[in-house]
Amino acid sequence: GLHAKFVAKTGKKYWGSCADAGLINNAANVAILRSDFGQVTGENSMKWDALQPSRGNFNWGNADTLVNWAVSNGKLIRGHTLVWHSQLPSWVQGINNRDTLTTVIQDHIRAVAGRYAGKIYGLLLIFLLYLTKLSVSEILNENGTLRSSVFSNVLGESFVAIAFRAARQYDPYSKLYINDYNLDSNNAKTQGTVAIVKRVNQAGKLIDGIGTQMHLEANGAGGTLAALQALAGAGVEEVAITELDIKGASSNDYLTVLNACRQVPTCVGITSWGVSDRDSWRSQNSPLLFDTNYRPKAAYNALISAL
């Protein structure tokens, strides 16, 4: 399958997909996850609104389902996401006190990072391969400045270090990522991401990696190599393509993304944002590697041939 070939060619890089309980219980989808993907990211199950819909009340069901499936099927897991302005419950959005919000961020991260890191590490004992990767998502505007959210409005840029310090404390084994969209070329947002990572890491290394989501338009993959190289220039251990989908799914665009990740030593892998066009959040754009009947598309065949 795709992942196995990518690993064979590169020695280590993974190709993954997002998934969750419904897609794991979908026979056609899970068969492809097993054969072609080596890593999973929770599509929605690890978001704040799913895990902690009201203060102190956690719903672990769907996230546990995904983690248990990944562990028993030998798939790497990326955690998604610890701190994000979106899919954030209103009880968090309404906090306007610095100390309260700091405690709430720390409590959330302690619960989530603590639950999965130890479990996966302890179960598999090969944490170099099966490491979780935890992220803080979408904190910048297109011009590289800090995005307005309850986190930045109440705590300023300090929320970034607060979150990463907590993640490091409660899960010392996982790689900690910043993750954002439109980091598709060496643009202002990419440069802003590099700048904030350098600032935060100046006081002690907190951010291990940068994820570029890559929700691309047709013919939009041309800047991928420049983006990955610029992000790697922040001095992080890793960069990753975390949510790849491409309008029209042309073979050429997919090959361009593949080759960019192959050329950048710090690029650890590529995650497709779904297996098939049937289940994609952009399903009307035909963006993925398998069609609405779970059949491989031309872009899939092109990747397999190139590997």
Distance of closest approach, residue 293 Cβ to ligand XIL, in angstroms: 20
Q: How many residues bind ligand XIL (CB under 6 A)?
A: 6
Smaller CB separation from ligand XIL, 179 or 250: 179
The catalytically annotated residue of 43, 138, 217, 238 is 138
Q: For the CB of residue 212, give the shortest distance to ligand XIL in the complex, in Å.
A: 11
Chain positions 60 to 119 lying near ligand XIL, rule: CB under 6 A, are: none
Q: How far is the CB of 31 from ligand XIL (least distance, A)?
A: 21
- Give the per-residue contact string, 230-249, with ligand XIL (x = CB under 6 A; - = no): -------------x------
Smaller CB separation from ligand XIL, 44 or 191? 44
- Of 26, 213, 256, 276, the one binding ligand XIL (CB under 6 A) is 213
Complex with ligand XIL: residue 208 or 243, whichever CB lies closer: 243
Annotation says 138 is catalytic: yes
Least distance between ligand XIL and beta carbon 49 (Å): 10
The one-letter amino acid code at 63 reads A
Q: CB pairs under 8 A, 24+ apart, for 145-154?
A: 145/192, 146/196, 147/85, 149/85, 149/88, 150/85, 150/88, 150/92, 150/93, 150/94, 150/95, 150/101, 151/83, 151/85, 151/101, 151/105, 154/95, 154/96, 154/97, 154/98, 154/101
The CB-nearest residue to ligand XIL is: 281
- Shortest distance, CB of residue 78 to ligand XIL, whole angstroms? 11
Q: Of 60, 127, 173, 281, which one interacts with ligand XIL (CB under 6 A)?
A: 281
Which of 215, 263, 209 is closest to 239 using CA atoms? 209
The least CB distance from residue 69 to ligand XIL, in Å, is 18
Nearer to ligand XIL, 42 or 302 (CB): 42
Of these, 16, 29, 40, 43, which contacts ligand XIL (CB under 6 A)? Answer: 43
Q: Which is nearer to ligand XIL, 48 or 130 (CB)?
A: 48
Q: Site for ligand XIL (CB under 6 A): which residue of 17, 26, 52, 137?
A: 137
Question: Is 44 a binder of ligand XIL (CB under 6 A)?
Answer: yes
Question: Which residue's CB is nearer to ligand XIL, number 43 or number 253?
Answer: 43
Catalytic residues: 138, 243
Q: Which residues bind ligand XIL (CB under 6 A)?
A: 43-44, 137, 213, 243, 281
